[in-house]
């Protein structure tokens, strides 16, 4: 396997940039791909694979190569990144001789739990505080490579038909038990060029994420608001469940996300979705008592989706933790008035930490007597299953 020298030269730069900054890995990779246009598709796939695996396990391979030094994320440097990469290649690609001119130290004993799990000091301690003894198992599970799940767009096709169509294009899937629309991709491959995707017959959406809109139970003729819509995966699912017969308002503070949602909605044939940028408190105030159902998929630590976003281990800091708590409180306090009396709300996060979930709801309910909790459920990440998620349904009393 011949690998361009520039791949080896660029890997340490990319690794350090992701671990020591707030930049999304895909954006960093795109930048360096543009800087190295001579790389072929195989080189790009290899580069991306190595990058993500070393973001995921950086501390583990750091420990395997230099365990006698204390791990300090802020002081990581080029030489240390090269040590990590050299050890990684020795373990997984022993046939490849790397050009990194660094010496590797032999481990002096078993790796500590935090080195083995490969997390920053602060995030690992947060996991222990939030989940106690359960954290070690969860931390390990979050290192698994995530499965790819698809959600059938029932506005256009049934699952069995979609499965046959994808198979005809060389993509084998299996139906997920307990769901009438979910498929699991047997072999990870890009689906963007398939006719099924370009025709809007499915969306790539994690299995746990698919449960959010289901628990909202959208119905025809209802007014429904997705107030933290983002890219719109759950918004599209809401439209599908309501059979394109509900008025769906997708809102977010970031207009570019809503513009992308509009494109996705057109492809999916979701004709009853409108978008609204939240650029002032007045936008929310005007919607008081408007909706039959409200989805609040609020910002969080992302602790449940680390398998898909391993950079969270390094990029999420204590200051972010406090900021996210404040944001969640603000959204719950201000947005709940969107729901009319007798309506319902789903509160969800892609977090598995109780402070962002059960404790947050307990605090909200203690000051809002007109709201009551109907159901709550935490989905812990497990191998070959969905991401970690928390979903709760609440009802607003009739006056």
Which residues does 235 contact at the CB level (< 8 Å), separation at least 6? Answer: 226, 229, 248, 250, 261, 265, 270, 273
DSSP sequence for 43-60: HHHHHHHHHHHHHHTHHH
Residue among 273, 245, 247, 248 at smallest CA distance from 259: 273
Would you say 339 and 145 are in contact if contact means Cβ atoms under 8 Å apart?
no
**Tokens, residue 78:** 């080029």
Does residue 336 have an active-site annotation?
no
Q: How far apart are CA 310 and CA 302, in angstroms?
A: 10
Q: How far apart are CA 30 and CA 67, in angstroms?
A: 33
Buried b (16+ CB within 10 A) or exposed e, 109-141: eeeeebbbbbbbeebbebbbebbeeebbebbeb
Q: How far apart are CA 378 and CA 399, in angstroms?
A: 31
> Which residue in the list 228, 300, 336, 350 is annotated as catalytic?
350
């609440």: which residue's tokens? Answer: 394
3-state SS, residue 309: coil
Would you say 236 and 263 are in contact if contact means Cβ atoms under 8 Å apart?
no
The residues annotated as belonging to the active site are 350
């Amino acid at each position: 396997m011949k690998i361009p020298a520039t791949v080896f030269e660029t890997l340490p730069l990319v690794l350090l940039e992701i671990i020591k900054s707030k930049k999304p890995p895909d954006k960093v990779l795109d930048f360096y791909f543009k800087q190295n246009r001579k790389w072929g598709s195989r080189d790009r796939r290899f580069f991306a694979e190595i990058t993500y695996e070393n973001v995921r396990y950086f501390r583990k391979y750091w420990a395997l190569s230099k365990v006698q030094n204390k791990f300090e994320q802020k002081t990581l440097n080029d030489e240390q990144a090269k040590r990590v990469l050299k050890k990684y290649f020795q373990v997984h690609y022993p046939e490849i001789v790397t050009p990194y001119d660094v010496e590797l130290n032999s481990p002096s004993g078993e790796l500590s739990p935090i080195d083995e799990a490969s997390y920053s000091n602060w995030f690992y301690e947060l996991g222990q505080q939030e989940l106690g003894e359960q954290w070690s198992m969860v931390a390990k599970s979050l290192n698994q490579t995530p499965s790819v799940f698809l959600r059938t767009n029932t506005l256009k096709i049934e699952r069995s038909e979609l499965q046959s169509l994808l198979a005809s294009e060389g993509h084998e899937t299996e139906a997920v038990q307990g769901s009438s629309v979910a498929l699991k991709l047997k072999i990870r491959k890009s689906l963007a060029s398939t006719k099924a995707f370009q025709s809007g017959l499915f969306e790539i959406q994690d299995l746990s994420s698919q449960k959010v809109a289901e628990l909202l139970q959208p119905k025809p003729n209802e007014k429904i608001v997705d107030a933290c819509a983002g890219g719109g995966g759950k918004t599209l699912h809401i439209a599908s469940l309501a059979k394109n017969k509900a008025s769906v308002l997708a809102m977010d503070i970031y207009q570019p996300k809503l513009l992308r949602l509009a494109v996705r909605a057109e492809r999916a044939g979701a004709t009853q979705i409108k978008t609204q940028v939240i650029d002032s408190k007045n936008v929310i105030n005007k919607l008081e008592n408007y909706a039959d159902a409200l989805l609040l998929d609020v910002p969080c630590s992302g602790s449940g989706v680390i398998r898909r976003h391993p950079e969270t281990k390094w990029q999420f800091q204590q200051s972010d933790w406090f900021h996210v708590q404040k944001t969640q409180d603000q959204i719950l306090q201000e947005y709940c008035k969107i729901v009319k009396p007798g309506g319902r709300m789903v509160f969800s996060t892609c977090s598995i930490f109780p402070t962002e979930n059960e404790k947050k709801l307990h605090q909200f309910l203690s000051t809002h007597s007109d709201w009551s909790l109907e159901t709550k459920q935490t989905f812990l990440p497990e191998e070959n299953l969905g991401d970690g998620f928390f979903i709760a349904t609440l009802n607003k009393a009739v006056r």
